[in-house]
Structure 1
Amino acid sequence: MISHRTLLLSVAAVVTASVLAPSTAVAAVPTSARMVALGDSITRAAVADGTQNTQPQNSWSTGTSTSVESHLRRLEAYGVDMTGGNYAKGGERSVHLATQATNALANADADYVTILIGGNDICYASTPSGTTAPDTFEANVRKALDIIRAENPDTRVLLASVPSMMSLYRIGQQNFLIRTRWNLIGICEVMLANPTDTSSAANARRAAVEARVDEYNQRLAKLAAERANVFYDNGAVHNAPFTASDLSVLDGFHPSISGQNKIAQVTWNEAVRQGVFDVG
C-alpha cells in the first residue's frame, strides 16, 4: 500500500483563501486511503434504522452499507481502495475528541478525517449557561486537530457544522409523535423540554441554545480558516433542510437513514466544492 503521507499530493493551484485554509490546494483522488470518523452518536448512526443500537455501517462518514451514500462509499466509487475506521462514540463531547483522535491514529495515520461534534456539548446541560463555553469548545477541537496534524500534516480534515437545534425543535413542535418521544425519553431537554410551551421564557431558552450552537460553528470556521488542510462545511449540516422523515422513528432526534444520507450529501457537496478531493 502506498504511504499515506504521499497520497494527498496537491495537484492544482491554491483555491481562493476565503474558501480554503491557508496554503491548501486541491488534492488528487488517491489510489488508496485510510479514512477516520470522529464525533458522537450521529456519526455512529445511532438508531438510524429505528432499532436500539448503533449502526456505524449506516454512518454518513465511513458507512459501508448500500443504504447510505457515505463519504467512504463515494470515494470508493471513484476507484479509491478505502480503509475506514469509525471512532465516534455516543454521548461524547468536544472534550473527548483528543482521545478519539489518539485512538484512531495509534497504529496508522489517516488521509481523511471527518469530525462532527457539539450536540452533546449542548444537550448534557440543564440550562443554556451550563453548555460548554465556546472558548473551551474551540480549545477541545484544536487539541484534536493538533494530534491529527502531528501524525500527518497532509491529512485532510472536514469539520462538519453543529446541527441546528432550533430547526430540530420546529420539526417536532408540530408533530405529536415526535413530541411524545421527546417527552418519554427526556432527550436534550435544554432545548426540547415542554415543546408546546411558547411562553417568552421558553422561547428565550431555545434562542439561547441556538445562539450557543452558532457560536460553536463560528469557532469551527475560525479553526479551518487558520489551518492548512482543515475545511469547514460552511454550515452545510446546520442549514440542511431536514424533515420529520430524516429523524429516527425511535427517538425523533437522531438522523434516520434518510437523515444520514442528507448529511452525507450536503457535506460531500461542500467538500468537493472546497477541493478536499478533486472529483469535480
Structure 2
Amino acid sequence: MEQDRRRHGGRARAVLAVVAAAVLGVAGCDAVGGGDPAPSGSGARQGRPSPSPTPSWDTGPASVAAVGDSITTGFDACGVLSDCPEVSWATGTGEQVDSLAVRLLGRAGAAERSWNHAVSGARMADLPRQMDRAVRRRPELVTVMIGANDACRPTPSAMTPVEEFRANFEDALRRLRTALPKTQVYVASVPDLKRLWSQGRTSPMAKQVWKLGICPSMLADPDAVDAAAVQRRETVRQRVEDYNRVLAEVCAEDRRCRHDGGAVHAFRFGTRQLSRWDYFHPSVDGQARLAEIAHRAVTAEGPVT
C-alpha cells in the first residue's frame, strides 16, 4: 500500500508540474499583449510596422545661403572690376537671372531668406570661415562654388596643393554638419579655365584686363603658344580636374550633399556667357545658365551623374 501511495503521489506531482508549465507558457504568451511593455529587438520589429524613412534630400528647401568666390558675387557681370550680387546665380534677386534662390523661394522669398557670404578672391582655405557665417543663418540649403582662385595663382607652382584643398573642404563641411546636421549642400564644379582662356584670347580688351592680374597662371601671355606656355596651361587644367575630383568625392561621403556631376566644368561658356569686360567671369547670361544648372541638380529626384 505504501508503495502504491508513493506511485500515485509521484504521478500527481508530475501532473501538477505539466499543468504548471502549461500555465506559465500561456502566461508568457499573454505578457506580450495588454499594457505590458513590448519586447525589444527583431521580434518587436516584426510585430509592428516600420516608420516611413525620412527623405535624405528635400527638393524644396525654404532658405538658401551661398559661399564661394567672385563667380558667386557676380564679379564683372554688371560693371568692370566690381561685384554685382544682385545677379548672382545663387542668391541674386535681379530679374535678368532668376537665381537659384528665386527659383526655389520666389523673388520676395529670395530677398528675405537667402544670404550671400561669398567673397571675391576667396580660395578653399577661406571656405571654413565663410561656412561659419552661413551657419548663423540656419539655412536649409548651402551652395558652394569655389576653387578657381586656388588654380588662378601667379604661377602654377603656387596653386593650392590637392590634399590641402581636400582638407579645407572637409573642414568646411564638418563645421556645417556639427551645427546643422540636416542642412543640404549643393556643390558646383570648378569651370574649365582653359576654355575661358581660349574664348577670351581673341579680345584685345580682355587681354588688357587680364594684365591686371586675373588668373595669371592660365591667362598670362595669352598669345604665347610655345612649349612652356602650353605646359603651363596644361598644368593648371589638370589641377582643376584634380580639384573637381576632390569636390565630387568629399560630397559623395555626405548623404545630404549633391555635386553637379561636373555640369559647370562641362558647360561651354561662349562670348555671350562671359563678361564683356574680362571675358573670364560669367556675364548676366552666364549667371543665368549657372542658376539653371544648380536648379536642375537641387530639384532632381536623385543625384546628378
Q: Shared fold (TM-score greater than 0.5)? A: yes
1:93 equivalent in alignment to 2:123? yes
Q: 1:96-125 CA distances to partner (integer Å, 9 max, x unpaired)?
A: 11111111223x3110000000111111x2
Partner of 1:27: 58
Do structure 1's residue 113 and structure 2's residue 142 form an aligned pair?
Answer: yes
Q: What does 1:103-252 align with in structure 2 at a 5 Å threshold?
A: 103-106=133-136, 108-123=137-152, 125-183=153-211, 185-252=212-279
Structure 1 residues 51 and 127: alpha-carbon distance in aligned structure 2, compared to 1, 3 A threshold: closer
Decide which moves more: 246-255 or 65-74.
246-255
1:20 is matched with which residue? none
- Asked if the contact 2:199/2:279 (under 8 Å) is kept, the reply is no
Contact 1:27–1:275 (CA under 8 A) maintained in structure 2: no
Cα deviation for residue 177 of structure 1 reads: 3.1
Q: Would you say 1:37 and 2:66 are equivalent positions?
A: yes
Q: Structure 2 counterpart of 1:76, which letter?
A: L
- The one-letter code matched in structure 1 to 2:60 is V
Contact 1:59 1:260 in 2 (8 A): yes
Aligned counterpart, 2:84: 55
Q: C-alpha distance in 1, partners of 2:278/2:101?
A: 27
For residues 229 and 44 of structure 1, what CA distance do their matches in structure 2 show?
Answer: 25
Contact 2:205 2:278 in 1 (8 A): no
Partner of 1:46: 75
The answer to whether the 8 Å contact 2:60/2:299 transfers is: no
C-alpha distance in 1, partners of 2:120/2:193?
18
Q: Name the aligned partner's letter for residue 120 of structure 2.
A: G
In the alignment, the residues of structure 1 paired with residue 228 and residue 208 of structure 2 have an alpha-carbon distance, to the nearest angstrom, of: 22
Aligned equivalents of 2:56 and 2:263: distance in 1?
A: 21
Query: Match of 2:121, as an amino acid?
Result: G
Q: 112-121 or 97-106: which moved more?
A: 97-106
Q: Which residue of 2 aligns with 1:21?
A: none
Of the candidates 58, 61, 69, which is equivalent to residue 98 of structure 2? Answer: 69
Kindly report the root-mean-square deviation, in angstroms, between the aligned alpha carbons of the 2 structures.
Answer: 2.2
Higher relative contact order (CA 8 A, sep 6+): 1
More strand by share: 1
Give me the identity figure in percent. 36
TM-score computed with the length of structure 1 as normaliser: 0.83
* Distance 1:202-1:51 versus aligned 2 partners, 3 A rule: closer
Residue 218 of structure 1: how far off its partner (Å): 0.1
Describe the shift of the 1:164–1:13 C-alpha distance in structure 2 as closer, same or farther (beyond 3 A).
Answer: farther
What's the secondary structure of 2:209's corresponding residue?
helix
Larger radius of gyration: 2
Which whole-Å CA distance do the structure 2 matches of 1:61 and 1:258 have between them? 14
- Superimposed CA distance per residue, residues 234-256 of structure 1 (whole angstroms, 9 cap, x where no aligned partner): 11111111011222222222111
Give the drift of 1:77: 4.2
Structure 2 residue corresponding to 1:255, chosen from 261, 282, 294? 282
Residue 17 of structure 2 aligns with which residue?
A: none
- Cα 1:130–1:28 change in 2 (3 A) is closer
Number of residue equivalences: 251
Q: Distance in 1 between matches of 2:283 and 2:294?
A: 16
Q: Does the C-alpha gap of structure 1 residues 28 and 201 become closer, same or farther in structure 2, counting only changes over 3 Å?
A: closer
1:54 and 1:201 map into 2 onto residues whose CA distance is 34
Task: Give the Cα separation in 1 of the matches to 2:168 and 2:301.
Answer: 24
